[in-house]
Amino acid sequence: MVTYRKLYATKRLAGVEDPPERYRMLDFFETVALLVKRGYLRDSEVWETFGNEIFPLYADTRDQIEQERKADPAEYSNLISLVSRLEAIESEQKGTLAKPSKEDIVDYWKDEAAIGIGTPTAHHKAKAQNPVGVPKHP
């Protein structure tokens, strides 16, 4: 996955509109979304673990996803549903990552282009105070 992330980022920074690595990344998150749908993961866990990656990727690929869904409405349907729930968590936590600017996306791709195998990601999300779907403890 690191290879796909790095290649995709490098190509996006070079102005390539639709690199093939995009599909690998979106397919990964579609699988994560399916795991949430089936109850193997919670929305809050995905938000904590992948929110920093999902939001800029989705913002950068939203137009292409919408075009593909015209031909196949089921395309990335799990991911789209998950993203809307992650946006709600981000909003509840007073976060700003759900609506990245073009500059935020470019900065994200710059970070991704610099990653290597075994390199920890530089951006981590704090745990939610009261994540959606997790009961509050008295």
pLDDT at 132 over 60: no
Residue of 42, 41, 12, 37 whose CA lies nearest to 25: 12
Side-chain half-sphere CA neighbours of 89 within 13 A: 28
Show the tokens assigned to 115.
């990653």
Indicate the SS3 state at residue 95.
coil
Hey, how many other C-beta atoms are within 10 angstroms of the C-beta on 80? Answer: 16
Segment 106-120 mean pLDDT:
84
Mean predicted lDDT score pLDDT of the chain:
87
pLDDT, tens digit (0-9, with 9 covering 90-100), for 83-93: 999 999 999 99
Q: Is residue 79 part of a domain?
A: yes
The span from the CA of 82 to the CA of 103, in Å, is 24
Q: Is residue 15 part of a domain?
A: no
Task: Provide the residue range defining the domain that includes 103.
Answer: 29-109
Confidence of residue 2 (pLDDT cuts 50, 70, 90): confident
**Counted domains in the chain:** 1
pLDDT at 37 over 90: yes
Q: Is residue 19 part of a domain?
A: no
